[in-house]
Structure 1
Amino acid sequence: MMFDALRRRLMQLDEVKQAAKQQHNLKAGSIMINAELRVNKNKRIGEVPGVEVGDMFYFRIEMCLVGLNSQSMAGIDYMSAKFGNEEDPVAISIVSAGVYDNTEDDPDVLVYTGQGMSGKDDQKLERGNLALERSLHRGNLIRVIRSVKDLTCPTGKIYIYDGLYKIKEAWVEKGKSGFNVFKHKLLREPGQPDGIAVWKKTEKWRESPSSRDHVILHDISYGVESRPVCLVNEVDDEKGPSNFTYTTTLNHGNSLSSMRKMQGCKCTSVCLPGDNNCSCTHRNAGDLPYSASGILVSRMPMLYECNASCTCSHNCRNRVVQKGTQIHFEVFKTGDRGWGLRSWDPIRAGTFICEYAGEIIDQNNVNGEDDYIFETPPSEQNLRWNYAPELLGEPSLSDPNETPKQLPIIISAKRTGNVARFMNHSCSPNVFWQPVLYDHGDEGYPHIAFFAIKHVPPMTELTYDYGQSHGNIQLGTNSGCRKSKNCLCWSRKCRGSFG
């Protein structure tokens, strides 16, 4: 995900300079290629190391960087391969991007049109088309990437790696232009995890939530969230989590009124990148922390959103966490870790997930074992979040192992809370926590907001790292509220325990 971190930073820098619009994705890709950060450079038939079925990409160059498909424009990637003593050009990967008239209704079948659509002549049996024809005879595996519309961007696409297919038949037919085109019917190999099928299901559920099966409760938030939060159990007969009151707020008790007020900016309408008069920009190390679409650019020791003292409007880009989540969540029963959280929506890296709602408590007032505690762990992931500033000629972070300051805040979501209370631990998480201030200025007791570390496909469990206190040794003033437990994340990087 270094690519997306570079792309976000390049966009942020150009906004400040008010530079002409550039294709930041291509620039980020070029920087990584020049720095020898491209992986799986040698073409291959079959699976690509490090790429899993269901992985999602927002740009073609992303797929080039990981070796999934080396074509930045064309849909058919091919190579010369040996079959015994013979050698043939065969297709190794295809992208169905909606440019051609493909048939994709069945998640296990793809009818793929050959390349070449000038509308002035028949398609020719050459290059990618020839490779597809030879793949029919050789029966080799072909990686298939499908695409869907990016609902957050009118012209955008999301590319989904759908797994391995084989061509079962091919023919020539008249296309809409009146000229001959090649058609290829590909069948998905059995035994693979679901790819595009998951997207088709969740699209149906978003349009008609009642079509989701195994539902216990259609909205566990009872209308508190802007979108219903479905409660689902496909595992056993348990009817739901222990009783709690759903809230989206952080209860400071009686202390909020006595906390230091935040200074407000004097911006008219909205805060703008590069405005040296914006005090909110200065508090955020000289840059607005979010892109124009509300995506977090980089992780920060403390993030300062605009507040009630600011003169900018509610539509200012520096108001994200305070507006609440915009995601279709599902609370579901896991096989071995109680209840978990996932989304019906694809989530882009840097997207705000939710805040950790609940009650701020004192360590001395923790009653019994509370599994719904958030405290800043003494051993957290560092602040880099995939970003390598030296690639852009910026100063390296002073300490690559720098960790966020351990804050005194402790939040319990045992009695009151939101979807964040259902996020499980993982030693390889896809979500991180970010301290945010917007309704007071006390840096020891910020709001705890969660953001996506990487692109997260629909129906992927959302997890964050609870931290490790080395056998629950008291390492900090608030260490030890969450008891150490055996970890069941099953990650390759699993530490064996957490808390």
Structure 2
Amino acid sequence: MALGGAHREKVGYCAVTPRERDLIGNRGKMAAARGAWCVPCLASHETLQELCRKEKLICTCIGITKQNLNNYEVEYLCDFKIEKGKEKFLVKWKGWPESSKTWEPKGNLKCQTLLKQFYSDLYKYFYELKPNKTGVLKNSFKSLDPSVSEYIVKKAKQRIALRRWEEELNRKKSHDGMIYVENNVDSEGPPIDFYYINDYKASPGIITLGEAIVGCDCSDCFTEKCCPEEAGVHFAYNEHKQIKIRPGRPIYECNARCKCGPDCPNRVVQKGPPYSLCIFRTDNGCGWGVKTLHKIKKNCFVMEYVGEVITSEEAERRGQQYDSKGITYLFDLDYEADEFTVDAARYGNISHFVNHSCDPNLQVFNVFIDNLDVRLPRIALFSTRHIKAGEELTFDYQMKGSGDLSTDSIDMSPAKKRVRTTCKCGAATCRGYLN
């Protein structure tokens, strides 16, 4: 019987037979449509693959098909030795249990990328992590010390976990640009308690999804009287869809009731980030960061800051918990009122990983589209200058910006903190603290 259902990485559902139910867990209910058991799937991706191969079951949603059920594909290399003059590698086979690992001569391996990665990890261990033990490599030429092979396996598993997280992020995102993940610094894997979302996640009792009452009838929103003018503000963009208003001024984009099409010059933030971005591990102790993989011109929209929308009272309570951890994810929505806060600690998009800088290249603007409630603006980040491909993206957590877009009169600071967090931005104008 084929294994059906949809597997999810952490907590999801997977349809299994009664026998598999006993292997994975005894909680479940009968899925009438399939005639199978549906249980919360707490098993890892690898465990489910191994169960399929062991029981000779097919499950396309986790990559086990009739064609590859009995195939052997190298997942990563675990160890190395020289036996009878031949180089051999200990191979972990993809979708097969650890007990199925085998020693294979180098000539049998067609995975040049994995071989290069193995040697790269080996080099890094001896010449970067353990530079005083370079002689060990020569003295143990016929085999590797267990600590070395343990490090290599750990790095291989980390890469697999990060690649799977990258795939998950790209499945969940709703914008055009791709998201990449990179860690060439340490052994940190994907964050355990973070969930990617594309829009605000409203807490009970808070409504973030509004519906505009009226929309424009423009045939050319750039030249005619459009939504911004109806709201009593200036049109925010130039003909290249670059921001032309000063920070602190609101952006009113065309909404669902407007008769203009998707190519309207007043539809920018609502289309989502247009650039491919990379979540990467920083080497200055700031944890994860975000860098752009494309050149970004000055005054261009880059991303939104989204998260869970909570009351200011709840933000104060959570802030006390976050203080002890030295994290800053609370952002007050105080454009005209101070009732709500965005908390991106657990729920957020790629902006969750953007670091602070006292000399940033991103600036915050308040945006209104369908929901015109001034207490609940959307938070958009625009470039303050030209940004090179590969450059880290940052914004000022105190929202004072940089360059000719900056102003000291903006009152858009994150929720007040009680413990001062040391700043590591390294800018010449660094204030020393994030708050």
TM-score by length of 2: 0.53
Q: 2:274 — aligned with what? A: 326
Structure-2 separation of matches of 1:258 and 1:272: 28
2:177 to 223, 227, 245: 227
Maintained 8 Å contact 2:276/2:292: yes
The amino acid of 2:239's aligned partner reads A
1:468 deviates by: 8.4
Q: Does 1:250 align with 2:200?
A: yes
- Unpaired stretches in structure 1, ≥5 consecutive residues: 1-213, 379-403, 470-474
Describe the superposition over 1:126-159 as per-residue Cα deviations: whole angstroms up to 9, x where unpaired. Answer: xxxxxxxxxxxxxxxxxxxxxxxxxxxxxxxxxx
- CA gap of 1:266–1:479, structure 2 versus 1, over 3 A, is closer
| Cα distance change on mapping 1:314 and 1:360 into 2, 3 Å | same
SS of aligned partner of 1:420: helix
How many angstroms does 1:318 deviate by?
Answer: 0.9
Residue 258 (structure 2) pairs with residue 305 (structure 1): no
Distance 1:264 1:256, change over 3 A: farther
Aligned to 1:264: 214
Structure 2 residue runs of 5 or longer lacking an equivalent are 1-158, 401-410
Instruction: Letter of the 1:362 partner, please give it.
Output: T
Q: Secondary structure at the match of 2:170?
A: coil
CA distance in 2, matches of 1:477, 1:347: 25
Equivalent in the alignment of 1:463: 394
**AA of the residue aligned to 1:484:** R
Aligned AA (1:271): C
- State the alpha-carbon separation in 2 of the partners of residues 251 and 238 from structure 1: 27
Which residue is equivalent to 2:357?
A: 426
Q: 1:476 to 1:358 in 2, by over 3 A?
A: closer
Deviates more, 1:255-264 or 1:231-240: 255-264
Deviations 1:262-285 (A, max 9, x none): 443332444132x24x34334363
Alignment of 1:288-437 (within 5 A): 288-299=235-246, 300-335=248-283, 336-365=285-314, 366-367=317-318, 368-369=321-322, 371-376=327-332, 407-437=338-368
**Cross-structure match for 1:155:** none
Measure the CA separation in 2 of the matches of 1:468 and 1:319: 24
CA contact (8 A) 1:270 1:315 kept: no
8 Å CA contact 2:332, 2:412 repeated in 1: no
- Distance in 2 (CA, whole Å) between partners of 1:331 and 1:302 is 29
Structure 1 residue 236: Cα displacement: 1.0
* Pair 1:258–1:345, CA change in 2 (3 A): closer
Structure with larger RCO (C-alpha < 8 A, sep 6+):
1
Q: Is the 8 A contact 2:279 2:288 kept in 1?
A: yes
**So what's the TM-score if we normalise by structure 1?**
0.46
| Aligned-partner residue type, residue 186 of structure 2 | D
**Residue matched to 2:229:** 281
2:322 counterpart letter in structure 1: E
- SS of residue in 2 equivalent to 1:435: strand
Asked if 2 retains the 8 angstrom alpha-carbon contact of 1:246 and 1:416, the reply is: yes
Report the residue type matching 1:457 in the other structure: K
How far residue 312 of structure 1 moved from its aligned partner, in angstroms, is 2.0
The structural deviation recorded for 1:406 is 7.4
- 2-structure distance, mates of 1:433, 1:292: 21
Deviation at 1:458, TM superposition (A): 0.9
CA distance in 1, matches of 2:208, 2:189: 42
* Distance in 2 separating the partners of 1:422 and 1:468: 17
Give the aligned partner of residue 102 of structure 1. none
* Distance in structure 2 (CA, Å) of the matches to 1:315 and 1:476: 31
Q: Distance in 1 between matches of 2:307 and 2:371?
A: 17
Match of 2:377 among 438, 446, 462: 446
| Percent identity of paired positions between Structure 1 and Structure 2 | 28
Distance of 1:468 and 1:313 partners within structure 2: 33
Letter of the aligned partner of 1:352 in structure 2? F
* 8 Å CA contact 1:264, 1:280 repeated in 2: no
CA distance in 2, matches of 1:294, 1:468: 23
Question: Contact 2:331/2:342 (CA < 8 Å) preserved in 1?
Answer: yes
More helix by percentage: 2
The aligned residue for residue 116 of structure 2 is none
Q: Distance in 2 between matches of 1:264 and 1:432?
A: 29
Higher mean displacement: 453-462 or 246-255: 246-255
2:364 partner amino acid: W
> Counterparts of 1:442 and 1:268 in 2: how far apart (Å)?
23
- Contact 2:340-2:376 at 8 Å conserved across structures: yes
Confirm or deny: 8 A CA contact 1:220 1:228 kept in the other structure. Answer: no
Q: What secondary structure, in the 3-state scheme, does the structure 2 residue paired with 1:223 have?
A: helix
1:321-362 deviation line (CA, Å, top 9, x unaligned)? 111111100000112101000010111111111111111112
Aligned-partner Cα distance in 1 for 2:330–2:184? 28
Matches within 5 A, 1:53-72: none
Is 1:432–1:451's contact at 8 Å kept on the other side of the alignment?
Answer: yes
Structure 1 residue 498 corresponds to structure 2 residue 434: yes
Pair 223,259 (structure 1): closer, same or farther in 2 beyond 3 Å: closer
What amino acid is aligned across from residue 340 of structure 1 in structure 2?
G
Kindly provide the CA deviation profile for residues 195-226 of structure 1, in whole angstroms up to 9, marking residues without a partner as x: xxxxxxxxxxxxxxxxxxx7832445132233
**Over alpha carbons, which structure has the higher Rg?**
2
